[in-house]
Amino acid sequence: MLRRVGETIDPKDAMVKIKDASFPAPFASELEYNSPVHGNWNIVHTGMQLPESIQIYVCADNCMRGVVLTAAEMNAADRFSFVIVEEQNILNGNLEDITIKGVTDVLKKRDDHPKAVLLFTVCLHHFVGSNLDYIYSELEKHFPDICFIRCYMDPIMQKHGLTPDQKLRKAMYDPLIECKPDDKTVSVLGSDFALDESSDIKRLLKKYNYRIFELPKCKNWQDMMEMSKGKLFINCYPAGKYGMETQARRLGRECLYLPGSFDYDEIEEQLKKLTDTLGLPELTEDERKQERQSCEQALAKAKDLIKDMPITLDYLYHPRPLGLAKLLITHGFCVKSVYLDAINPEEKDDFIWLQKHAPELELIATIQVKMRVLPRGGSEEVLAIGQKAAYFSKSRHFVNLVQGEGLYGFDGIRRTAELMMGAYLKEKDTQKLVIQKGWGCECCL
């Protein structure tokens, strides 16, 4: 984006006070800017969680660079292969054959057969109307001992219908088999991170001796298959909801969508859904009171330390940034801005509340093109919650966590307060940290 020397950029269209914002799209969808903040996971990171599997991408070489680098940065290049599609393959109309032959060649060159292949077809397959059913059926005939999983790298679909991320989080669980459920087993689907051991869900289930299976904890293919036995499927991350519900219907399981929240009442409602579904005693009044009091104490302790230091936060830290903003504002914190590009429909009530009680709160885009040249940071240091908030505010005091990680429930609120105190007390090298791809993956160790 070119600009005249000395020209001042008007932040209009990239920033808006929440009192003037539209729901759920406060900013126009147009040309986008990609900041150097890369902590969020992409489809390569997510797919690598499937144990004893490899990924094969069938794509033009100009689109291959990013996914190849991701695999290399994860120290997982041995689990990544690709088939390059050239112009002549499109002109000759034999993309199906090229895909089948390329994948066959990759597998024959390996010393061993993986349990599963995440085969990613791309935009080109859609453009030329490739017969994907034929491709997969032929490969399954050639390699009956391998589970071929239908995956897509088709960003042309990013704005319409299911995203590649949502489709992947469904496809990864397609290998789960029909079997008799185990009454004392619960499977958590759809998240890149396992729930914290101290999270409300895990504490409750362990209290009643339930086994809990999560893909990030699976060490081998057999562990993955054990997830099939879950009497109940749970999902806590919005992008995984579609996949969890689809697999529950296929396998005849009950399922619960229990998204992370910063609202006490919603947390209690979700825990009651869990206990009711499993036929367990619900939390007693004393237990609920104790959970709330411990959160209040944690937040009060953080407020005493942080005092009136300005706070900015972003959607990358957690799918409920407005809910977090509301929680902090109601506890006296000085929240100045929230970085997001769209508003999660689940946060409509929080949006309305903030419009009324914090009308001057700024919503700031992260992909609007002006963000490339607008000034970053200000005259005073701020506490940033999330990588994008830290990058755009030039804060060295920031909470470095993405996608909600293992946060859940009352425990998630307490942990957030603790992380805020840690960020206040110790500076981080923001420029070095935020450029690392897939925070929490091998590449970040």
- Which residue segments constitute the domains of the chain, with CATH numbers given? 51-171 (3.40.50.1980), 182-278 (3.40.50.1980), 293-444 (3.40.50)
Q: How confident is the model at residue 154 (pLDDT cuts 50, 70, 90)?
A: confident
User: What does the alpha-carbon distance between residue 419 and residue 405 come to, in Å, rounded to a whole number?
Assistant: 13
* Paired tokens of 402: 């993405």
Among all chains, which residue has been given the structure tokens 């920033």?
15
* Paired tokens of 226: 């054990």
Residues in CB range of 80: below 8 A, 6 or more apart: 44, 54, 55, 57, 67, 68, 71, 72
Using DSSP, state whether 69 is helix, strand or coil. helix
Alpha carbon separation from 352 to 18, 22, 326, 347, 359 (Å, rounded): 9, 10, 11, 9, 10
Q: How confident is the model at residue 440 (pLDDT cuts 50, 70, 90)?
A: confident
- Tell me, what's the pLDDT at 430? 95
Q: Greatest CA span in the chain, whole angstroms?
A: 71
Strand boundaries in 291-392, DSSP class E: 311-314, 335-339, 362-364, 383-385
The half-sphere exposure of 259 on its side-chain side, counting CA atoms within 13 A, is: 19
Residue 310 pLDDT greater than 80, yes or no: yes
Report which of 218, 114, 209 is spatially closest to residue 176, judged by C-alpha positions.
Answer: 218
The order of strands in the sheet holding 182-188 is: 211-214, 182-188, 230-235, 254-257
The order of strands in the sheet holding 397-399 is: 15-17, 362-364, 335-339, 311-314, 383-385, 397-399
Average pLDDT across the chain, whole number? 94
Neighbours of 92 (CB within 10 A): 11
User: What does the alpha-carbon distance between residue 204 and residue 213 come to, in Å, rounded to a whole number?
Assistant: 15
User: What does the alpha-carbon distance between residue 227 and residue 269 come to, in Å, rounded to a whole number?
Assistant: 26
Picking from 29-38, 249-258, 355-364, which range would have the lowest pLDDT averaged per residue? Answer: 29-38
Mean pLDDT of 262-272: 98
Phi, psi of 435 (to 5 degrees): -85, -10
Are 277 and 254 in contact, with CB atoms under 8 Å apart?
yes
User: According to DSSP H, which parts of 187-345 are helical?
Assistant: 200-207, 221-226, 241-251, 264-278, 285-306, 321-330
* Paired tokens of 198: 């101290």
**What digits encode the pLDDT tens for the residues 376-419?**
988 889 999 999 999 999 999 999 999 999 999 999 999 999 99
Q: How confident is the model at residue 73 (pLDDT cuts 50, 70, 90)?
A: confident
* Paired tokens of 429: 């090298």
User: What length is written for the chain?
Assistant: 445
Are 348 and 23 in contact, with CB atoms under 8 Å apart?
yes
Alpha carbon separation from 193 to 141, 188, 227, 236, 280 (Å, rounded): 35, 10, 16, 10, 26
- Tell me, what's the pLDDT at 161? 81
Picking from 84-98, 299-313, 390-404, which range would have the lowest pLDDT averaged per residue? Answer: 84-98
